[in-house]
């Protein structure tokens, strides 16, 4: 199992991981930490220096469109061990949602379920040529908070394994609430691409710059951020 963007070569630029500053909203307690994901002494709220700078530019642009709205960080840097933990956890939860027990799955069932999970989760590869996007410090999962500091309803929760997570899922809806979901997803995309980020094809919340996925979407020949151990 591989992803098309993994063929993009990486020319690591050497930028450091830095903490996401306190003036940027972070959704806490962090969901994966709460589940027991093995971060060790690392924090999920770290990104490459250039990502933080672009995030600030996107936030400033958002304020010109929606004064006092804020970009909120759900997740950022993710060690490969955490990526593996979350793939395993998501697989188990998805199987349970289908009323299936992992111990009783056939190979065909396992492959079918994993195929759905991997539409949304990157491969937890230890190969330096194919790092998971979040393990590069160049990918962030984000949403929007309104003037009251309330999270905007985007029509599906972050990490949901369903077609509702696709960015344009509600594009043709005539339902007033679903039209609003689409407009808010478009607003998020607008402010993120303003500073150079690209959105994951299957996830309304996932944006990155400089990693292999970004290079693949942008038709760039080389990624500038590789894995951070």
pLDDT at 31: 98
Q: What is the pLDDT of residues 188-201, one digit of tens each?
A: 999 999 999 999 99
Q: How far apart are CA 60 and CA 58, in angstroms?
A: 5
pLDDT tens, residue by residue, 114-144: 999 999 999 999 999 999 999 999 999 999 9
Q: Tell me the per-residue pLDDT of 14-42, one tens digit each, with 9 for 90 and over.
A: 999 999 999 999 999 999 999 999 999 99
Inform me whether the pLDDT recorded for 1 exceeds 80. Answer: no
Domains of the chain are: 4-218 (3.30.1380.10)
Alpha helices in 15-168 (DSSP H): 31-35, 49-65, 80-97, 107-117
pLDDT given at position 46: 98
Per-residue pLDDT tens over the stretch 39-93: 999 999 999 999 999 999 999 999 999 999 999 999 999 999 999 999 999 999 9
Token pair listed for 125: 């590869």
Kind plus residue range of the DSSP H or E element containing 177: helix 176-193
Write the DSSP assignment of 142-172 as a string of letters: EEEE-TTSPBP--SS-TT--SGGGSTTTTTT
Model pLDDT for residues 159-186, shown as the tens digit of each residue: 999 999 999 999 999 999 999 999 999 9
The pLDDT of residue 2 is 87
Residue 203 annotated as catalytic? yes
* Rounded Cα–Cα distance for residues 161 and 32 (Å): 16
Crossing angle between the packed helical segments 176-193 and 49-65, to the nearest 10 degrees: 130
Residue 31, Cα to own-chain centre: how many angstroms?
Answer: 13
Considering 15, 101, 151, 203, which one is annotated as catalytic? 203
**CA 165/CA 222 separation, integer angstroms:** 28
Q: Determine the pLDDT at residue 159.
A: 98
**Which pLDDT score is estimated for 146?**
98
Each residue's pLDDT tens digit, 87-121: 999 999 999 999 999 999 999 999 999 999 999 99
Q: Give the closest residue to 216 by CA, choosing from 15, 10, 1, 75.
A: 10
pLDDT of residue 229: 82
CB–CB of 2/215 below 8 Å? no
């Amino acid at each position: 199992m591989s992803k098309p963007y993994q063929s993009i070569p990486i020319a690591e630029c050497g930028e450091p991981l830095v903490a996401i500053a306190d003036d940027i909203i972070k959704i806490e307690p962090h969901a994966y930490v709460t589940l027991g994901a093995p971060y060790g002494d690392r924090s999920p709220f770290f990104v490459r220096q250039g990502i933080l700078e672009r995030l600030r530019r996107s936030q400033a642009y958002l304020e010109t469109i929606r004064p006092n709205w804020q970009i909120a960080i759900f997740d950022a840097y993710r060690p490969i061990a955490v990526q593996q933990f979350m793939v395993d956890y998501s697989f188990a939860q998805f199987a349970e949602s289908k009323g299936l027990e992992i111990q009783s799955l056939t190979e065909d069932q396992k492959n079918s379920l994993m195929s759905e999970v991997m539409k949304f989760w990157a491969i937890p590869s230890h190969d330096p040529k194919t790092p998971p996007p979040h393990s590069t410090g160049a990918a962030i999962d984000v949403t929007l908070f309104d003037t009251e500091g309330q999270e905007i309803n985007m029509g599906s929760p972050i990490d949901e394994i369903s077609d509702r997570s696709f960015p344009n899922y509600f594009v043709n809806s005539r339902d007033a609430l679903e039209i609003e979901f689409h407009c808010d997803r478009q607003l998020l995309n607008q402010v993120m691409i303003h500073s150079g980020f690209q959105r994951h094809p299957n996830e309304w919340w996932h944006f990155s710059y400089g990693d292999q996925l970004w290079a693949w979407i942008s038709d760039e020949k080389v990624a500038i951020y590789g894995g951070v151990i």
